[in-house]
Amino acid sequence: MSRGARAVLAGVAILITASCSTPKESPRRVDIDAELRQEMERYAELVRKMDNPGIAGLFTDDGAIVNGAQMVSGPKAIQDFLDKFKQYQVQTETLTVQSVHGSSSAAQVLGTYDQTVRLPAGNVVEARGNYSADWVRGGDGKWRLKRMATFGGQQAPAGSQ
């Protein structure tokens, strides 16, 4: 058999083998950006409702809220910290996602926040600034916050610019 005939037979054998093999399922494509935008909206909704147990439940066991120099770690401590603000009333909470970076197991969301709050004295203030949210996917497939930090915040009476 000539060299050319062997090459043709080898090519045909490869095609037959390829066409008979079972195609492998492609892994589910994970849209991390969409998933984490949805998680950030869920976080904002819990803040609007002032659902402190729900907010704390979004964090890993060693997750932390960082606000300036203050850091609170762990879901129980986070809930206790948030419970100190029961006399406050969140009127609006907007989290704008500017970017999402990471993988299907860990990612960071950067963005801005804008919040209007009625203080215990009755006056209403607006707080705005930036945030960084570090998320990790647990073994159960759910995203959880490892760290939620706000910075560069400004507070002013509502309606003032």
Mean pLDDT of the chain: 84
Q: Name the least confident of 5-9, 38-42, 87-91, 107-111.
A: 5-9
Per residue in 47-73, pLDDT (tens digit) is: 999 999 999 999 999 999 998 888 999
DSSP the chain: --HHHHHHHHHHHHHHHHHHSPPPPPPPPP-HHHHHHHHHHHHHHHHHHT-HHHHHTTEEEEEEEEETTEEEESHHHHHHHHHTTTT-EEEEEEEEEEEEEE-SSEEEEEEEEEEEEE-TTS-EEEEEEEEEEEEEE-TTS-EEEEEEEEEEEEEEETT--
Q: What pLDDT was estimated at residue 158?
A: 66
Q: What pLDDT was estimated at residue 69?
A: 84
Per residue in 147-157, pLDDT (tens digit) is: 999 987 777 67
pLDDT at 26 over 80: no
Q: What pLDDT was estimated at residue 27?
A: 39
Reported pTM: 0.77
Q: What pLDDT was estimated at residue 10?
A: 37
Give the residue extent of every domain in the chain. Answer: 31-157
pLDDT at 1 over 60: no
CATH number, span 31-157: 3.10.450.50
